């Protein structure tokens, strides 16, 4: 009963947030999707972290540690570089651009007849295809959580429950694979009821209150998720015998060689042939991915901030919460579960091993936590799920309302300018479409790792062009069209001929990155550059960092201004990244030491990380960092309008 009361209190808070923000959200798309640009930096950072704290991610971490050890988590941690680049370089550019979506940026950044088709293609590709695949991954985790905690066959009367089972049997739907031994039809019926209720709850406040309601709930959701995760980690480690003898117990269960692999933050000594492929993967995936410049909900949070400094702080708060804090909690749980639920080498070779280890994260909650704490962790997982679903609904709807309907359908098909409330209605209706598509994809997914690998592959061709469009003026709309087109052709071919085997992933990612980037840059040089008028306006509005010599000259600005500005920001990125990763490794090694490891390296890492904090924090907060010439607010010339007014 206590667990249910905690869940009910959370549900009521979420619904209340949507109702409170409803009136403002209904005024315009800026209010609905950007909260009127009133989100403070720390709140935006918490919202980013809440969205990334998806219900599927702790399950993914649990599976990675069991199958490949702590070192495999660098696949997640390496994204810290992309997050810091967004904080120091791209967040301010997104905010100044004055757009609502990445797709809309095409009409501000490029010129030519292909701008509208590119905007429409990106809106559909990002807002529907990619967005729904990610949502489906989250829903796969949701059904595993729901099966354990929501036994509807025990709770509902037969008159209500049996028709659902009959519908499942008639349609042949199978939502996931049972981890509790339920019959397939009963399992799918339970999962369908759970998913529909969870999505109905999330959609009610997200559709009603827009980004303002999403951010308000995200702050509470992330706090609850972290408190619940900390409590879970405490009980898991306590049940495993405490931190002091954790390493010895893993050695007893798996042997010193396997234990060293599981607990190593560096490449294991026996990595040999597997090391180079892994280094290639983590070297590529943080840059060659579709969110490398913050594209999507991270950019949306940056654009919703009132000042450049707020946008920068949002990225920093997000990065430290995401990479350091939550990683330490999840590592404790994943390592403790290795002791409490041991496995043999033969089991590792069996089918479904990865999915089974992922599901242990949920099973441990049910078996290890007492009432109250279990309810708190359940709310934490529900909050993690809701914070991801609400963001993807809101983000996906922004493409359909702002780019598809307002950018193409209304002006080119209906031949009129849409009203603000009309656009908000389209946004709310498009949420339903996105949910339906995501559920169809979810019904056909296996393990979360497999879905994650496929999504990385599709995004690997876009990252370099998305970054270069902010740093290099020569990138044009044909560059983006080429990268997207080649990705859509190359990814299915690679999956068909090379499969989804994790051992071949480095080859797939390498080929995708090389082919798409080479094709995009080649096309850049043989197609017309963006016209001077567009470059001049974009430079005046955004003052981008990097190689913008011609655009700077058009605005009577020295060509070295943007280059020097980029250099200072990359220095800040490097200092912050070293501080972040050394603290992560140092603290992690002290808490979870590998067999026969020395604590000296751990303390050195911690000392370096702490010593660098005043340096990067001073750069992030310094007024001088905000009043450089390239940071000055842009004054539009006579007759010029912001993109939101156009």
Torsion sign, CA atoms 312, 314, 320, 322: negative
| Token code pair at residue 89 | 């370089």
When pLDDT is cut at 50, 70 and 90, the band that residue 600 belongs to is very high
- pLDDT for 279: 74
pLDDT of 284-309, one tens digit each?
778 877 788 988 889 999 999 999 99
Nearest CA to 298 out of 26, 148, 94, 549 is that of 94
pLDDT of 418-437, one tens digit each?
888 888 888 888 888 888 88
Mean pLDDT of the region 608-624: 90
Nearest CA to 402 out of 85, 35, 105, 1 is that of 105
Other beta carbons less than 10 A from residue 439's beta carbon:
19
Please state the length of the chain.
646
When pLDDT is cut at 50, 70 and 90, the band that residue 170 belongs to is confident
When pLDDT is cut at 50, 70 and 90, the band that residue 452 belongs to is low
- What CA–CA distance (Å, rounded) separates 253 from 232? 22
When pLDDT is cut at 50, 70 and 90, the band that residue 50 belongs to is confident
Nearest CA to 322 out of 76, 573, 61 is that of 76
| Token code pair at residue 585 | 């490794």
| Token code pair at residue 219 | 């702050």
Exposure b/e, 421-435, CB count within 10 A at least 16 = b? eebbebbbebbeebb
| Helix 184-239 and helix 373-398, axial crossing angle in degrees, nearest 10 | 120
| Token code pair at residue 291 | 């969110």
Mean pLDDT of the chain: 84
When pLDDT is cut at 50, 70 and 90, the band that residue 630 belongs to is very low
Mapping DSSP to helix (H, G, I), strand (E, B) and coil, where does residue 584 land?
helix
- pLDDT for 632: 45
Strand partners, 355: none
Residue 96 CB-half CA count within 13 A: 26
Following DSSP, what letter does each residue of 14-49 receive, concatenated? HHHHHHHTHHHHTT-HHHHHHGGG---HHHHHHHHH
- pLDDT for 273: 59
Mean pLDDT is lowest, of 79-83, 497-501, 564-568, for 497-501
CA terminus-to-terminus distance, the chain: 55
pLDDT of 201-257, one tens digit each?
777 777 778 888 888 888 887 888 888 889 999 999 999 999 988 999 999 999 998
Cα 161–chain centre separation: 36
Residue 364 CB-half CA count within 13 A: 34
Nearest CA to 208 out of 25, 62, 386 is that of 25
- pLDDT for 644: 44
CB 217 within 8 A of CB 205: yes
When pLDDT is cut at 50, 70 and 90, the band that residue 155 belongs to is confident
CB 224 within 8 A of CB 385: no
Question: pLDDT at residue 601 above 90?
Answer: yes
Following DSSP, what letter does each residue of 486-535 receive, concatenated? HHHHHHHHHHHHHTT-GGGHHHHHHHHHHHHHHHHHHHHHHSPPPPHHHH
* DSSP symbol at 596: T
The four Cα atoms 391, 51, 47, 483 give a dihedral, to 10 degrees, of: -70
Question: pLDDT at residue 602 above 50?
Answer: yes
The four Cα atoms 178, 184, 189, 190 give a dihedral, to 10 degrees, of: -30
Percent of the chain with pLDDT over 90: 38
Element (H, E) at 111: none
- What CA–CA distance (Å, rounded) separates 527 from 198? 48
- What CA–CA distance (Å, rounded) separates 626 from 610? 25
- pLDDT for 646: 41
Mean pLDDT of the region 77-97: 93
């Amino acid at each position: 009963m206590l667990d249910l009361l905690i869940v009910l209190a959370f549900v009521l808070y979420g619904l209340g947030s949507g109702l409170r923000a409803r009136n403002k959200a209904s005024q315009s798309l800026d209010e609905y999707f950007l909260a009127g640009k009133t989100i403070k930096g720390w709140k935006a950072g918490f919202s980013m972290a809440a969205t990334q704290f998806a219900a599927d991610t702790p399950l993914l971490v649990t599976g990675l540690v069991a199958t490949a050890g702590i070192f495999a988590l660098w696949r997640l941690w390496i994204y810290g570089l992309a997050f810091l680049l967004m904080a120091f370089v791209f967040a301010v550019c997104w905010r100044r651009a004055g757009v609502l979506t990445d797709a809309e940026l095409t009409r501000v950044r490029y010129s030519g007849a292909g701008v509208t088709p590119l905007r429409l293609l990106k809106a559909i590709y990002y807002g529907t295809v990619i967005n729904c695949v990610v949502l489906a991954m989250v829903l796969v985790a949701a059904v595993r959580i729901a099966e354990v905690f929501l036994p509807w066959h025990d709770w509902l009367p037969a008159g209500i429950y049996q028709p659902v089972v009959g519908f499942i049997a008639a349609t042949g739907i199978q939502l996931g694979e049972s981890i509790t031994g339920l019959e397939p039809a009963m399992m799918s019926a339970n999962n369908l009821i759970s998913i529909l209720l969870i999505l109905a709850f999330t959609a009610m406040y997200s559709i009603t209150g827009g980004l303002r309601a999403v951010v308000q709930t995200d702050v509470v959701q992330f706090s609850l998720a972290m408190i619940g995760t900390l409590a879970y980690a405490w009980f898991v480690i306590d049940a495993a015998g405490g931190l002091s003898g954790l390493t010895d117990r893993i050695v007893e269960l798996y042997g010193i060689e396997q234990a060293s692999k599981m607990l190593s933050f560096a490449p294991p000594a026996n990595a040999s042939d597997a090391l180079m492929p892994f280094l290639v993967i983590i070297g590529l995936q943080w840059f060659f991915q579709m969110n490398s410049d913050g594209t999507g909900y991270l950019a949306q949070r940056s654009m919703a901030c009132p000042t450049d400094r707020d946008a920068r702080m949002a990225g920093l708060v997000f990065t430290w919460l995401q990479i350091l804090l939550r990683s330490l909690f999840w590592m404790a749980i994943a390592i403790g579960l290795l002791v409490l639920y041991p496995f043999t080498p033969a089991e590792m070779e069996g089918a479904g091993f990865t999915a089974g280890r992922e599901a242990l994260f949920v099973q441990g909650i049910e078996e290890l936590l007492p009432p109250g704490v279990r309810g708190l962790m359940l709310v934490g997982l529900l909050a993690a799920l809701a914070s991801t679903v609400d963001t993807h609904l809101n983000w996906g709807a922004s493409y359909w309302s702002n780019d598809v309907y307002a950018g193409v359908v209304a002006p080119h098909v209906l031949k009129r300018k849409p009203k603000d409330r009309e656009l908000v209605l389209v946004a709310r209706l498009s949420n339903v479409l996105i949910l339906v598509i995501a559920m169809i994809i979810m019904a056909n997914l296996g393990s979360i790792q497999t879905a994650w690998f496929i999504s990385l592959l599709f995004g690997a061709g876009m990252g370099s062009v998305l970054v270069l469009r902010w740093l290099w003026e020569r990138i044009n709309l044909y560059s983006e069209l080429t990268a997207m087109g080649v990705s859509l052709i190359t990814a299915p071919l690679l999956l068909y001929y090379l499969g989804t085997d994790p051992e071949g992933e480095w080859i797939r990612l390498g080929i995708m990155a090389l082919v798409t980037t080479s094709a995009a840059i080649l096309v850049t040089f043989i197609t017309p550059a963006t016209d001077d008028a567009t470059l001049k306006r974009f430079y005046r509005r955004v003052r981008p960092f990097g190689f913008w010599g011609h655009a700077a000259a058009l605005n009577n600005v020295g060509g070295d201004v943007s280059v020097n500005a980029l250099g200072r920001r990359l220095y800040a990125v490097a200092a912050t990244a070293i501080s972040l990763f050394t603290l992560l490794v140092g603290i992690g090694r002290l808490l979870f030491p590998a067999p026969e490891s020395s604590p000296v390296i751990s303390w050195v890492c911690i000392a370096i990380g702490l010593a660098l904090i005043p340096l990067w924090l001073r750069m992030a907060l310094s007024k001088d960092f905000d009043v450089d010439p390239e940071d000055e607010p842009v004054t539009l010339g006579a007759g010029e309008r912001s993109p939101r007014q156009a």
